A and B are shown apart, each in its own frame.
Chain A
Amino acid sequence: MRRLIALVGVVLLFAMIPGGLSASPVWPEARPVSIVVPFTAGGGTDIIARQIQRAMQRFIEAPLVIRNMPGAGSGIGTNEVLRARPDGHTLLLSGTHTVTATLQGLAAGSIIQLDHIASLNWDPFVIAVLEGAPYKTLQELIDAGKQAPGKVTIGHAGVGALTHLTSEALNKATGNPWTVVPFEGGARLIAGVLGNVVTSGVFSQSEVQAQAGRLRPLAVTSLRRTTLFPATPTTTELGFKNIPQGSFRAISGPKGIPMEVRRAIASSVARAMNDPHWIQYARESGLVKTYMANEELERYFAVLTLDLSKLLRQVGLMK
C-alpha cells in the first residue's frame, strides 16, 4: 500500500513538471495566461485589469485569468512575476507603481529585470477641494497657502505612492505653500477632505467623479484635458513642469520572453484597446490612451524611472 502511494506521488510529481521543454514561441499555448494584479480585487488598478482582460479574451483562445497578489506597495505581486518562467503565461499589470515599488526596494528586483510589453493608459490625478471652500482655482489655493503658512494642507493616499509624489512635486513647483498630509488610502483621504480635516487632496479621477457636487476639481495632472473633466485646467497648461501625470499602466512579464511572443502579446493588447467596450470604458473613466510596445515602451519606462527616482530622492524615500 505504502509503495503504491509513493508510486502515485512520483507520477504526480512528474505530471506537475510543465511541458515547457518543447515550448515553441507560439503564444498563447492552450494553458491559461495569468495577469498578476499586485493590488487587492475591487481597487482602481484591478478594475482596469479586469476590463482589459475581458477585451483581450475576445481575441485569444487560452483562458486569461486575473490573479490578485497585493502587498508591500505592489512588491509582492511583482516578485511573483520576477520569479516566473518567461513564456508569456505569467504577466504583470505593471506601471508607475512598479517603478516606485522597485526603486524603494519593495520588490526583489529592479524595473529592468522585467520585459515591458505593451502600455495601456495614463490615469491622471485631480487636485480637489471641498465644494463649499473659498478656492475656485489652483492659484487661489496656492495664494492662500502662501498668506497663511502651515494652514493650507494637501492630502495624499499613501506614502511612496504616486499621489504622494504628485503632491510633493506640485508643492515644490508652486513654492511650498502647503503642508503635505499622508492618509492610508483613497477612502480615508476623501473623508479627510469632506470632513474638513485637510484643505485639499490628490485624488484619482473616478474618486472625484463619485464625489461630484461635494468635491470641486481645481486641476488635472495631465498633458491634455481629459474626457471626464473637460472644464478643469491641466497642470501643464497652468505652467507647472515635472508633475507626474497620474498612474501609468502597462503589461509586463519576466525578463527573457522571446520577441515573437512579446509581439504576439502586444498585438493582442493593441486589438483589445480597439474593442468598443474598452473604448467606451476608457472614455467614461477619463483614461488617457497611451499605446507603446516593446522597445519603445522599454525606453519610456527608463525615462519614467529617472523622473520618479528624482522625486523619491526629494521626499527621502530612496537612498
Chain B
Amino acid sequence: MEPLLQGLAFVLQPTTLLWIVIGDIVGIFIGALPGLTATMGLALFLPVTIQLDSLTAISLLLGLYFGAVTGASIPAILFGIPGNPNAIATVFDGLPMARKGQAGVALGGAVIASFIGGLISTAALLAASPALARFSLLFGPAEYFSLAVASLTIIASVSGPSLLRGVVMGAMGVLLATVGIDTMTGIRRFTFENPFLASGIGLVPVLIGMFGITQALDDAARSRDLHKVVTQQLGRLFPNLRQLRGMWRIILESSWIGTFVGLLPGAGASVAVVLAYERARQISPHPEEFGTGRLEGVVAPEVANNACIGGGLIPTFTLALPAEAAAVPILAAMIIHGVTPGPLLFTSQPHFIYAIIFAMIVANLTTCIFQLGGIRVFIKALSVPPALMPPLVILLSVLGAYALNGWMYDAVVAVAAGILGFILKRTGYPLIPLILGLVLGPMMESEFRRMMIITGGDMTVFVTRPLSLLLLAAGTGSLVRQLVHQRRLAQKGAGSA
C-alpha cells in the first residue's frame, strides 16, 4: 500500500504533472506532423531528460509517447496521411468519415479509443508483466516467420473482392522490401551503388506516398465532386456512449491484439493496427461497410496502437528488452539514470513501478483531454478551399517524407509511391497488402534464414514448434475461408443468372 501511495504522490506533484503535460503537447504535435515519429520525438527529448531525475524523465517521455501515438490520428483522419506507421489503419475509415462530415466524431472516437487502449495495456503491465514478458521470449525465429506469413495471408485474403490481387500485391510489397543491404549476408540487392538505396525503401515514405499523395491525386482527378465532399460541418465531437458500448467486444479484442503484438520485439504497431482492423471487420455485423467510414474502423486500430505502448514497455521494464523502437529511448533514460530494468524492478522498487503506472494513466488522461479540446482547432484545417486541398496534402506529404531523415531520397520515394498507388488504386488493386508486405517481408525472410542457419536447414521446425504451427494454421484457415466464400459467391452469381 505504501509504495502505491508513494507512486501516486510522486505523479501528483505539480512538477511531474507539468512535465507530463509538456510531453503530451509536444507529443501530439510530433504525432500530428507527418514524418515525425514517436521514436524520433523520444530520441530528441532524451538529452533534455538528463537534467531531470529518473522518474520525472520517464514521465516526460511517457507523456510524449502517448501524445505522439494518439496525435498521429489527426492527419490520418483529416488528410488521409498517416504521419507514422501506427496510424495506417486509422486512415481506412477515418478519412471516409471526415469526407462524410463526421470528422469530429472520428477524431473524438480515435482519442477515446486511444485512451481505453492505453488504460487496458497499462493494466496488463501492472498485473501480469513477468508472465507476459516470458511470452515475448517464446517467440523465436520460427514463430516470427509464421507470424509474418499468417498476418500477410490474412490481410491478402480479406483485403478486397479478389484473393489473387491481394496475394499479388502482398508479394509485390515483399519484393520491394528486398531492396537494400541483406541483413543476413551484407550483400547489396538492387542498390545500383547508391547509398540511399542501400538503406532500403523506407516504410514511412511509402506510407505517406501511398495514402497522402495517392488520395490527393485521386481527389484532383475527380475534382467535380470535391466541392460537395469537403464542405464540412463540425458535427458532434463525441461518439455517443451507446455507440461505444456496442463496440465493447471490438475494443477488448483490439486491446489484447495491441498488447500482445506490442510485446514482440520487431513486430511493431503497424502490424497490430492492421490485425485489429481486420478482426473488427470480422466481428462487426456490417463488415461490408468497412472502408466507407465506420466508427469501429477508427476505434479498433486506435485502441490497438495505444495498447502497443503498454505491451512494448513490458519487456522493456522486465527484461531490459525494448520491443518497440520507441521504447529504446525510454530504456536509455532508465539506464542513464541508474535504474536497472528487470523482474526485480517490480519487487525491489515497487514505488518506481507504481509511479510509472500512474504516470502512464495521467499521460493517457491528459493526452485525451488536450486532444479532445483541440479538435475544434484541428478541424479548421478542413476549411481550406477544396481546390487547394490536394496540393496542400502533396506538399505536406513531401515535407513529411523529407523530414524523416533529411533525405531528398525519401521524398522521391514518397512521390513515386504516390503515383504507383494512384495507378494501382484506379486499376482496382488493394494497397494494404503491399504495405504489409513491405513491413513483414524483411521479417519473413530474415527469420526464415536465421532459423535455417540455426537448425542447419531443417524446415520441420515451423510445424513442430506449437506456437509456430498455430500461427500457420490461422493463416491457412483465413485463406481457406476466403476461397470457400469466393466460390459460394461465384455459385450464387451463376445460380441467379
Q: Is chain B found bound to chain A in the same assembly? A: yes
Q: Is the C-beta of B375 less than 8 angstroms from some C-beta in chain A? A: no
Residues of B within 8 A of A142 (CB): none
B137 to chain A: which residues have CB within 8 Å?
191, 194-196
Binary contact readout A149-192 vs B (1 if CB under 8 angstroms, 0 otherwise): 01001000011100000000000000000010111100110111
**Distance, CA A182 to CA B186, complexed state (A):** 10
Contact of A41 among B43, B50, B342, B446 (CB under 8 A): B43
Closest A-chain residue to B341, C-beta based?
A210
Which single member of B198, B265, B405, B454 contacts A106 (CB below 8 Å)?
Answer: B198
- Which of B182, B196, B323 has its CB near the most chain A CB atoms (within 10 A)? B196
**List of A residues within 8 angstroms of B39 by Cβ:** 40
Q: How far is the CB of B350 from chain A (nearest CB, A)?
A: 18
From A181, A210, A214, give the contact of B454 (CB < 8 A): A181
- A47-B336, A106-B198, A210-B340 known; A42-B329 Cβ under 8 A: yes
Residue in A69, A183, A213 whose CB lies within 8 Å of B342? A213
Q: Which of A16-24, A72-80, A121-129 contacts B (4 or more CB under 8 A)?
A: A72-80
Measured in the bound complex, the distance between the Cα atoms of B470 and A81 in whole Å is 50
Output the least CB separation between B162 and chain A (Å): 34
Give residues of chain A (1-39) contacting chain B, Cβ–Cβ below 8 Å.
none
Nearest-Cβ distance from residue B128 to partner chain A, whole angstroms: 18
Q: Is A68 an interface residue (CB 8 A)?
A: yes
Interface of A with B (CB < 8 Å)?
40-43, 46-47, 50, 66, 68-73, 75-76, 79, 104, 106-108, 150, 153, 158-160, 179, 181-184, 187-188, 190-192, 194-198, 206, 210-214, 317
CA of A194 to CA of B321 in the docked complex: distance in angstroms? 10
Q: Known: A182-B450, A197-B140, A198-B454. Contact between A108 and B43, CB under 8 A?
A: no
Q: Are A42 and B198 closer than 8 Å at their CB atoms?
A: no
| Nearest opposing residue in chain A for B326, CB measure | A42
CB interface residues, B 372-426, toward A, < 8 Å: 405-407
Nearest A residue (CB) for B266:
A188
Set of chain B residues within 8 Å of A198, measured between Cβ atoms: 454
Query: Residue on A with the closest CB to B185?
Result: A159
B183 touches A76 (CB 8 A): no
- Complex contact B183–A70 (CB within 8 A): no
Contact B140 A195 (CB under 8 A): yes
Across the interface, which residues of B come within 8 angstroms of A68, CB to CB? 43
Interface string of B305-339 (1 = CB under 8 A from A): 00000000001000111110000110110011000
Q: How far is the CA of A194 from the CA of B320 in the complex (A)?
A: 11
A159 surroundings in chain B (CB, below 8 A): 181-186
Partner of A42, one of B186, B319, B321, B332: B332
Q: In the complex where A76-B199, A182-B184 touch, is A69 in contact with B406 (Cβ < 8 A)?
A: yes
Q: What residue in chain B is nearest A107 (Cβ atoms)?
A: B195
- How many A-B contacts if CB must be within 8 Å? 121
B137-149 CB mask vs A (1 if < 8 Å, else 0) is 1111100000000
* Cβ-closest chain B residue relative to A108: B195
B453 contacts the other chain (CB 8 A): yes
Q: How far is the CB of A199 from the nearest CB of chain B, in Å?
A: 10
CA distance A153 to B46 in the complex (A): 35
> B287 near A: Cβ within 8 Å?
no
User: Which of A41, A160, A182, A194 meets B46, CB within 8 Å?
Assistant: A41
Q: Which of A41, A75, A104 contacts B329 (CB 8 A)?
A: A41
B344 within 8 A of A: yes
Docked pose: A303 CA to B335 CA in angstroms: 34
CB within 8 A of B138: which of A104, A183, A195, A214? A195
Q: Do residues A212 and B198 form an inter-chain contact, with CB atoms below 8 A?
A: no
Q: Give chain A nearest CB distance to B436 CB in angstroms.
A: 19
Q: How far is the CB of B57 from chain A (nearest CB, A)?
A: 13
| Given known A42-B42, A47-B336, contact A184–B266 (CB-CB < 8 A) | yes
Docked complex Cα distance between A43 and B453 (Å): 28
Distance (whole angstroms) from the CB of B198 to the closest CB of chain A: 5
Give complex CA distance A153, B452 in Å: 12
CB-CB nearest in chain A for B140: A197
Closest CB pairs A-B (n = 10) = A41-B43, A195-B137, A159-B186, A210-B320, A42-B329, A42-B43, A197-B140, A71-B199, A160-B186, A72-B198
Question: Can you list 22 A-B contacts (CB < 8 A)?
Answer: A50-B50, A66-B47, A72-B196, A76-B405, A104-B186, A159-B182, A160-B186, A179-B453, A179-B456, A182-B184, A184-B266, A187-B321, A191-B321, A195-B137, A195-B138, A195-B140, A197-B140, A197-B141, A210-B320, A210-B341, A212-B340, A212-B342
